[in-house]
Amino acid sequence: MAEINVTKAKTAWISPLIYSIILIVAGVAMIVFKSEALRWILIIAGVLAVIGNTIELVIILQKKIVPIVPIIGIVIGVLLILLPGLMADVVMILLGVFLIIYGVLNVVGSVMNGNGTIALVLGVIIGVLAVAAGIYTLFNINDTKDIAMIIIGAITVVIGAINAIGAVKLYMQYH
């Protein structure tokens, strides 16, 4: 029994390393292919949404409950598959609107709660930057998609590298 645990421990680094490589490759693909990578991510998300919500629909229909959520999920999944460009634009518009609302609320909250402190200044600066980013997003949707994919890709590469370091440390621990 103890031999099995030692064997598992000696190979425990393989899965994290493979996962790390996949993350690094995916992150680099996001950085290099930008909007095209986003398109493929949305198509894959659509396929997963259709599959998951279809399974949920079948389960809910057996319970004789009105299946509103899975039907909406299937429709969104189909839209992601058939119209990934349009859906990416919708996501960017929602992001822009969210940033503007967040920024305005941040400025108002900071002014109402601040009393000349650094928190007031930072709150106003962050709020104004969020509003500016939201406006930029609404008027430059394609650029924003590219910027978002570069940022997400870079974060994904960093996460992959950190996981790879962990996998190497795990390997070194048992070898």
pTM for the whole structure: 0.76
> What is the domain count for the chain?
1
The alpha carbons of the chain give a radius of gyration, in whole angstroms, of 22
Domain span at residue 91 reads 13-174
pLDDT tens-place string over residues 36-85: 999 999 999 999 999 999 999 999 999 888 899 999 999 999 999 999 99
Residue 2 lies in a domain: no
Average pLDDT over residues 90-110: 96
CA-wise closest residue to 38 among 141, 167, 175: 141
Query: For residue 6, what pLDDT band results from cuts at 50, 70 and 90?
Result: low
Determine the distance from the C-alpha atom of residue 85 to the mean position of all C-alpha atoms in its chain, rounded to a whole number.
Answer: 17
Residue 125 lies in a domain: yes
Residue 6 lies in a domain: no
